[in-house]
Amino acid sequence: MKLKNIKGLVGILSFICLALSACDKINNPIISKGNNVGIPSSGLTRVTSTNDDDLLKVLVEDFTGHLCTNCPAAGAQCEALVNSTNGNQVVLLQNNVSSLAKAVPKGYYPGLPDTAYCNDFIALADSEWDNVFIDGTANGMPATMVDRLYFNGTPYSPNVYSKENVSVPFDSLIGTSPTAKIHIADSMYAPPVSTLSMSITATLIAPVAGVKYYLVVGLVEDSIYDWQDSVSHNIQYYLKRMTFRTAINDGGHGWGDTLSAGASPQTKHYTYANTAAFRYNSAVVSVPPKVPARLWNMAHMYVIAFVYQVTGGQHNYVVLQAQKLHI
C-alpha cells in the first residue's frame, strides 16, 4: 500500500497535527473555594450540604502505614481510581493500621531527622477494622477493600483485594442502583470555639427483614505531608490523601450507630470538638506544610459517612452507600 501523491502525505500530516495540537495552558492553578477560601471573618457559621445523594458511591479503603514500603504503590492505585472518569463515585479512606503505622520514638532512625516517623495516624476505629478485616501485622500490607466486599475467603483476609485489582470490583459496582442514600449537612464554628456539628440523614431503600444496618460517621483529612517509607528511599514529604482521623459516632469506635430497618429517612445529629488538634489554614498544601501533620487542618477536612449491613456469612459488613462532604 503506498500513497500515490503528495496530497496523501499532506492529509496524514494534517491529521497528525490536529490530533496532537491538544495542550491545555492553565493560568489559574488554584480552584477558587468561594466561601471556603478563608476563615469566616464574622465568626458565624457556614453551612454546606451534599447534593448527589441518589448517586451510588463506593467506599474504597486503603489500609496503609508509614513504614510499609509497598504502600505508596497501593496509594497510587487508589489515587488513580479517584482521578478516573467515575472518580466522583469514590469515597476514599486511608486507614493507618498495624505495626507498620506505629509512631517511633524521636531519633529512632539514625541518619534521619529526629522527628522522622514520629506521628501517629492510627485511629481507634482503624485498629478495630484491622483486627476484623486485615490483621496487617500478621499478613502484611498494603491491603485494599472495596465496599468491604467478600473476596476470596482466605482465613485472615476475606475482604481484601490486592492493590492492583481495586478497579475490578469498583467497575462492577458503579453501574448498579444504590440500596441506601446518605445526606450530609455540616457546619463549623470559627475558632476559638471550633466545634463541628453535622446532620446525617440515612435512607434505606428496600431494607431486608432480619438484617441489621449501621451508620458510621467520621472525619477525613486530605493532603497531609509526612514521612513515608518507599521501596527505594524514605520520603520526608509524602502526600497522604484522605487520611481517616477519627470516627465521630459510636464513641470513636468503628462500628457506628444502629439504623432502624425501615425505609423512612433517619436523621442523626452529631457534634465533635478537638480544640487541641484543630487548626485552620486554607492555603494550598505545600512543602513544608503550613500545619504540621500531627495537627488537623480543618480547611482540608471532610465528613464521611457510610451505611453497612450485618447479615452473617459472605455479605457481612458489606457497605451499601458512602458519602463525603468537605467541611
Contact footprint for another protein (CB under 8 A) = 1-3, 6, 9, 12-13, 16-17, 19-31, 70, 72-73, 76, 79-80, 82-85, 87-88, 110-113, 163-164, 222-223, 230-236, 239, 283-287, 326
Q: How far is the CB of 70 from another protein (least distance, A)?
A: 6
Q: Which is nearer to another protein, 13 or 263 (CB)?
A: 13
Q: How far is the CB of 188 from another protein (least distance, A)?
A: 17
Residues paired with residue 310 on neighbouring β-strands, in sequence order: 212
Q: How far is the CB of 326 from another protein (least distance, A)?
A: 7
Q: How far is the CB of 10 from another protein (least distance, A)?
A: 10
Q: Which is nearer to another protein, 22 or 276 (CB)?
A: 22
Q: Which three cell numbers stand for residue 110?
A: 539514625
DSSP element (H, E) containing 18: helix 6-20
Give the separation between CA 12 and CA 4, rounded to whole angstroms.
Answer: 13
Q: Which is nearer to another protein, 39 or 318 (CB)?
A: 39
Cα–Cα distances (Å) from 197 to 124, 149, 282, in that order, read 21, 31, 20
Q: Which three cell numbers stand for residue 149?
A: 466486599
Q: How far is CA 23 from the centre of its chain?
A: 31
Q: Which is nearer to another protein, 237 or 270 (CB)?
A: 237
Nearest CA to 269 out of 303, 242, 243, 297 is that of: 303
142 cis-preceded (ω within 30 degrees of 0): yes
Q: How far is the CB of 2 from another protein (least distance, A)?
A: 5
Neighbours of 295 (CB within 10 A): 17
Q: How far is the CB of 203 from another protein (least distance, A)?
A: 26
Q: Which residue has the cell 438484617?
A: 211
Residues paired with residue 258 on neighbouring β-strands, in sequence order: 214
Q: Which is nearer to another protein, 26 or 276 (CB)?
A: 26
Q: Which three cell numbers stand for residue 259?
A: 439504623
Q: Which is nearer to another protein, 105 or 111 (CB)?
A: 111
